[in-house]
A and B are shown apart, each in its own frame.
Chain A
C-alpha cells in the first residue's frame, strides 16, 4: 500500500481501486467526475477504462463482467443524468444479486440541495435499488466509504452499491491510508448454518420417495457447482434449475431435468406437484417459477437453503429453513445423505421428457422448413461453438429459447437479465463478459427489439476491439408480447410490430463485418462465418415472425397444468 502523503481525493480513488484489484472500469465522463478521469489519465491509464456510449451500457457491461468472473464490476459516471441513467442497471443488478460498485460524481458539497447544474438526489433515487449506498461530501470519509462499498458489494448475497462523491472531495488533499474492509459491526454476511437443521434436511432427503432439488443462482455465486453435483449424484435427486441457475450443472447430466418456470421444461414443472420433498438451494421462488404460490408444491415438504434469511417465508413458507452459504450447506449435506437412486421416480421424468420432445422440441429444432426457427439455430450454435463459450442474451422469446436449447456445460457460462427482465441488457453485458474472460468465445444473442435499445454499444465493441459475436434474431416483432397478444388478446397486435432498419447496413457502417441469413439452409454457413471471423462480427438471422415459445404456464394456472401447445379451449 502506498504511504504517499496527502494526495488528491481523485488520485486516492485510483489507488484504492488498485488496492481492490480492479483492472477494468466501465464508464462515461462528465463535469462532476472530471477530476477522477484526469487522475486516470495522469496515472497512465493503468486501470483500463471502457468508454461505453450510454451510462446504461456501462453498468450492464459491469454486470456482464461480474456475472462471468465472480469479481466486482465497477462503473463510473458523472452526476445528474449520468447517474440517473444507471438506475435500470442498478435495479437489474439488485434483482439478480450482481456485485457492482458504481462511483457517481456529485456536485460540490456546498451546492448540494440547491438545484445546481446536473444535480440529482442520487442517494434518494438509488436507495430502493441498491444493497447499500453512501454520499461522500468530506474527504475524511472517502477511503472508508470506498472500502466498505467493495466489501458490501461482494460479500453475503452480492448486490449493487453506489458511492456518490461530491466534486470537492475529488479535489481535496487527503492522507492515503487505505485499508481493505474486513468486516462491519452491524453486517454479518456469512451466517453459520445450523448443523442440526442440515442433519434434519438429510433425514428428510433419506426418507423421501419423490424428491426434487431446485437450484438457483446462489449455487453459482457460492461456487457450489461441484457440491451440487455430488449431492444429486449421491442421493439420486432429480434436479431442476431456475433461469439464472442454468450452467451450474451440465445440460446433459442424467439428473438435470432442465429449467423450472413459465417456459421451462415440462417434466420438472408437472412433477413438482407430485413431489413429496423439495430441496431449494440458492433460489427465491420467483413468481415466474411458482405461478400462483398457493397452488405450488401441494404435496411436498420444502427445505429452503439460502444465505439471505429474508428470502425464507417471503413467497413460500418452508418447512425447514437453513440460512447459510450454498457450498457450505451442501458439503455437510453430502456427508449426511445416504446413497439412493429413485429409479421409478426418475422414470416418470423420462416419460414427460419424451412428450415434450414429441410435441415441442422436434418442431422447434427442425432445420427442414424454409423459415429459421430460433430454437434450431440456437441448438446448432450450441453444438458447434466450444463448450467454454459464454452466452449472453437479451430479454424475450429468444432468451427463453436460449435457456431451453443451448446446452450449457461450464458454470457461469450463461448471462441473462432474469429478475428485472431488462431489454437492452444483452449487448453491453456481452462486452463486459468478453473483457472479463478474453480467452473464451462470447456469443450475444439478442432480439430485434432489445438490440435497438442499446445498439449504440456496437461502437464500444469497435473502439475497444472486443471480440463479441453479435447475433440478432429478427422476427420483426416484440415477440414475447406478440405471443401473449396472440394467446390472450385475440391476436390484437397492439404496438408490437417493428419497422426495423437494415441492421446489416447500420452495423456495417459502424465498422463491424456483418452478414444476414434468412433460410434454414443458410444456418450452417452463417455459423461457419461466425467461427471463421477473427474479431467481432454481426449476424442477423431473419426468423419465423410468428413463432411461439412452448411449453408455457399461463398466468394464474398451476405449473403442473403447463401447456405443451396452444390450448384453444382456454384462449380468449
Chain B
C-alpha cells in the first residue's frame, strides 16, 4: 500500500549533497513531491525534509540508504501528516548535534 512519507535528513552540508540524496530517491523510481532544505540550529548542518509516495518496504530501504551516506548524521521517516512538535528521534538528533 502506498503512503505519503515525510523523510527528514540531517547532514553536513557541502556541494553535491542534495544531488546525492535526490539521486537515491530517483534510483528507487520515486518522485520527490515536496522538498524543503535549510540550515539547522547547528552551523554547517543542513536539515532536509522531503515527501515521497511509496510503500513501507521501499521507504525503509531508502531511509537506510540515506543514513549510510557519509555526510548524513541521521535520517528517519514518518507517515504524513504527523507533525506535532518534535518526534523522539528528532529530539535525539538535536541533543546529538548541539
Contact = CB atoms under 8 A, between A and B. Distances in A.
Note whether A and B form a binding pair.
Answer: yes
Interface in A397-429: none
A131 interface: yes
B82 interface: no
Nearest to B21: A127
A310 B72 contact: no
B72 A186 contact: yes
Contacts of A128: 23, 27
Contacts of B57: 313
B70 A187 contact: yes
Contact of A135 (B15, B23, B65): B15
B32 to A, nearest CB: 16
B70 A313 contact: no
B80 interface: no
B92 to A, nearest CB: 15
A131 B19 contact: no
A509 interface: no
B58 to A, nearest CB: 10
A124 interface: yes
B3 to A, nearest CB: 18
B16 A127 contact: yes
B55 interface: no
Given A128-B23, A186-B73, A314-B61, A123 B67 contact: no
B52 interface: no
Contacts of A127: 16, 19-20, 23
Interface string B62-92: 0011011011110000000000000000000
A184 B15 contact: no
B68 A308 contact: yes
Interface string A109-139: 0000000000000011001100111110000
Nearest to B45: A186
A312 B67 CA distance: 13
A152 interface: yes
B12 A313 contact: no
A135 to B, nearest CB: 6
A135 B68 CA distance: 20
Given A310-B61, A313-B61, A123 B15 contact: yes
A340 interface: no
Contacts, number: 45
Given A128-B27, A131-B70, A186 B19 contact: no
A185 B11 CA distance: 10
Interface string A285-308: 000000000000000000000001
Given A128-B27, A309-B64, A310-B64, A186 B16 contact: no
B60 interface: yes
Contact of A309 (B23, B68, B70, B71): B68
A123 B15 CA distance: 9
Contacts of B68: 308-310
A310 B67 contact: yes
A77 B49 CA distance: 37
Nearest to A126: B16
Contact of B19 (A123, A308, A312): A123
A186 B20 contact: no
Contacts of A135: 15-16
Nearest to B14: A134
B16 to A, nearest CB: 5
A364 B70 CA distance: 47
A185 B71 CA distance: 9
Contact of A186 (B15, B27, B64, B70): B70
A313 B60 CA distance: 9
Contact of B70 (A124, A132, A310, A312): A132
A186 B12 contact: yes
Considering residues A127, A309, A312, which has the most beta carbons from chain B within 10 angstroms of its beta carbon? A127
A135 B16 CA distance: 9
A21 B57 CA distance: 43
Nearest to B60: A313
A100 to B, nearest CB: 16
Nearest to A132: B70
11 contacts: A123-B15, A127-B16, A127-B23, A131-B70, A132-B70, A133-B16, A135-B16, A185-B12, A186-B71, A187-B70, A310-B67
Nearest first, the 3 A-B pairs at minimum CB distance are: A310-B64, A132-B70, A186-B73
Given A123-B16, A132-B70, 18 more contacts: A123-B15, A127-B16, A127-B20, A128-B27, A131-B70, A134-B14, A152-B70, A184-B70, A185-B12, A186-B71, A186-B72, A308-B68, A309-B67, A309-B68, A310-B65, A310-B67, A313-B60, A314-B61
